[in-house]
Chain A
Amino acid sequence: MSGRVLVGVKRVIDYAVKIRVKPDHSGVVTDGVKHSMNPFCEIAVEEAVKLKEKKLMKEVVVVSCGPQQSQETIRTALAMGADRGIHVEVSGKDYETLGPLQVSKILAALAKKEDAQLIILGKQAIDDDCNQTGQMTAALLDWPQGTFASEVSLEKDGIKVVREIDGGLETIKISTPAVLTADLRLNTPRYATLPNIMKAKKKKIANVKPADLGVDLTSRLEVLRVDEPPQRQAGMKVETVDDLVSKLKDAGKV
């Protein structure tokens, strides 16, 4: 048992930024825009570091797939307490079409290479809201999955996961190795302290290419067009219920 947990972190546009669509409708503007670690990935890192602090896991390895700047995201995770990082270099056109299928193939390959017992990911990224990578990674590895986790406890015979579902909370028990995806209430991510930021500089980040892992990055999806959501129209005030019904009929709503 290596006691190794692999955490995936994604570099996304910062949650506070106002998103703008590119004039050619091919995507959103990313140049010069503030980026940070996906909030759910922060929660994943925090959970992994906590497991290590409780001595339930021995090593936290953090992975990010993307261009040069993804290393900043890895450094943030190292400053939060991860032990080392792996930067899977994906840039240019490959990066534009990088999606859950490709990332899950990369993570599955790395999990085998690194002999990981546990993979913790954010439940979804705030840019594409796919909510697929965790599930696909588990399927590729044929590992059980505990998704939308709001509580995780490592027990002798497996992992107890409390999941946030539409109807409330669901508790399941899964065996290891396993994939977990973090939901909002799993924990509150810590600040990286100044001394840890300094220490993180000395931690190693390995560079890996997808080809080295035998992963084909070809996408099966093609983005046709990106548009802003429709502008919210002004409402209309009516005097009586009859007025309301007739207006709704006119608009073809009833």
Chain B
Amino acid sequence: FGADKLTDQQKEFQQLARKFAREEMIPVAAAYDRSGEYPFPIIKKAWELGLINGHIPQEYGGMGLSIFDSCLITEELAYACTGMQTAMEANSLGQMPVIIAGNDAQKKKYLGRMTEEPLMCAYCVTEPGAGSDVANIKTRAVRVGDDYVVNGQKMWITNGGKANWYFLLARTNPDPKCPAGKAFTGFIVDADTPGIQVGRKEMNMGQRCSDTRGITFEDVRIPKENVLITEGAGFKIAMGAFDNTRPPVAAGATGLAQRALDEATNYALERKTFGKAIAEHQAVSFILAEMAMKVELARMAYQRSAWEVDQGRRNTYYASIAKAFAGDIANQVATDAVQVFGGNGFNSEYPVEKLMRDAKIYQIYEGTAQIQRLIISREHFGKYKK
């Protein structure tokens, strides 16, 4: 693997994504950030070009892209706007449990429709009282006849108000002593099922055009055909999705960081102070050098983690490292970009304050920076024990 050794096809994919990002997304990103309006026109165009739903296997109408290839695309789109890119990426997260654990009928029904029309889906696990501690979720699913009846509350669901269907994780075994690996079940839920109440769109610090909501389930009936694998298999499915989705999330953070680096560098070459361009003052050039180091390393980290899973190997260690590192440096690099811009950086007429606001969530969603460190330390020690 390696950025300079991309195949011709990978280069073409990257060029397409880059062109779309620069010509379609960047011109409207600031307006969507201000209004918070869902960028459906952009998502629809991206869908028409085949830039989203890349993970869906070819048998179900998708492109069956490798994780590496889809990361290349993700980085380019995130460069333009991570709010829009997160809305698109949430589709991958919602689909991943179905891709890895769905049976043929489920895949045909729920993945097939995503390639026939520009639909959204969502990954519905987090609750108001449980984010990192997934084993502590309280949403209950009770078997009644041929259905499961679900009651509970989910929160911070990306695409919550726009999804056609959700991947839902709910507790099916009420026994508190039952281990997490057996107590939860993964479901596919049609969003128009009676009893689902979609909350208001949440106003967030950044990635503001992305649709995030609370969702209430009140006696929602899910047919047993919509259970993934079997009752009790949910936890592993929900977590297994992350090995495939953390590399793209890291790629997104890298795209944001690259944008911050480019904006800051171009500014530094133009802005003059004390008789020369600020780029020629070592204090500033050193800031930019460190930003460049971080961006390059984040890129290498996500590429490694993507390549590992594409080779068929368990990539948890690398995926966690990539996500943790990219999330952290995206925040550092975006903050540094604002600093390089000085007073202008703090102002909404310049593009970098949005980057700083958008970057924060990368240390929180898809596993917080702290959870990543738990995972990395566990994997790390696992190599040393005999």
Contacts and interface: CB of A to CB of B under 8 A. Distances in A.
B113 interface: no
A197 B19 contact: no
Contacts of A201: 9
A191 B16 contact: yes
B47 to A, nearest CB: 10
A72 B8 contact: yes
Nearest to A191: B49
Contacts of A193: 16, 48-50
A194 B20 CA distance: 12
A197 B48 contact: no
Contact of A75 (B8, B13, B49, B51): B8
B296 to A, nearest CB: 19
Nearest to A36: B15
Interface in A178-203: 191-195, 197-198, 201
B270 interface: no
Interface string B224-250: 000000000000000000000000000
Contacts of B54: 194
A79 interface: yes
Instruction: State which size class the interface on B falls in.
Output: 10 to 19
A184 B345 CA distance: 38
Given A72-B8, A75-B8, A191-B49, A197 B20 contact: no
Contacts of B16: 191-194, 197
B49 A194 contact: yes
B9 A191 contact: no
Contacts of A198: 9, 63
Which of the listed residues B8, B12, B19, B48 has the most CB atoms from chain A within 10 Å of its own CB? Answer: B12
Nearest first, the 9 closest Cβ-Cβ pairs linking A and B are A194-B50, A193-B49, A193-B50, A197-B12, A195-B50, A191-B49, A194-B63, A192-B16, A194-B49
B112 to A, nearest CB: 16
Contacts of A195: 50, 63
A65 B9 CA distance: 22
A192 B20 contact: no
A75 B11 CA distance: 12
Contacts of A197: 9, 12-13, 16
B68 to A, nearest CB: 15
A192 B12 CA distance: 9
Contacts of B8: 72, 75
A76 B9 CA distance: 11
Given A191-B19, A193-B49, A194-B50, A75 B63 contact: no
A76 to B, nearest CB: 8
Nearest to B19: A191
Contacts of A192: 12, 16
A194 B48 contact: no
A194 to B, nearest CB: 3
Contacts of A72: 8
A62 to B, nearest CB: 16
Interface in A44-66: none
B42 to A, nearest CB: 13
Contacts of A191: 16, 19-20, 49
A133 to B, nearest CB: 26
B320 to A, nearest CB: 29
Which of the listed residues A72, A76, A198 has the most CB atoms from chain B within 10 Å of its own CB? Answer: A198
Nearest to A194: B50
Nearest to B45: A191
Interface in B8-66: 8-9, 12-13, 16, 19-20, 48-51, 54, 63
Nearest to B69: A194
Given A75-B8, A191-B16, 19 more contacts: A72-B8, A76-B12, A191-B19, A191-B20, A192-B16, A193-B16, A193-B48, A193-B50, A194-B13, A194-B50, A194-B51, A194-B54, A194-B63, A195-B63, A197-B9, A197-B12, A197-B16, A198-B63, A201-B9
A193 B47 CA distance: 9
A252 B366 CA distance: 72
13 contacts: A191-B16, A192-B16, A193-B16, A193-B48, A194-B50, A194-B63, A195-B63, A197-B9, A197-B12, A197-B13, A197-B16, A198-B9, A201-B9
B20 A75 contact: no
A16 to B, nearest CB: 10
A201 B19 CA distance: 20
A230 B51 CA distance: 44
Interface string B61-79: 0010000000000000000
A191 B51 CA distance: 11
B57 to A, nearest CB: 14
Interface string B128-157: 000000000000000000000000000000
A69 to B, nearest CB: 11
A116 B377 CA distance: 67
A11 B20 CA distance: 21
Interface string A194-220: 110110010000000000000000000
B43 to A, nearest CB: 15
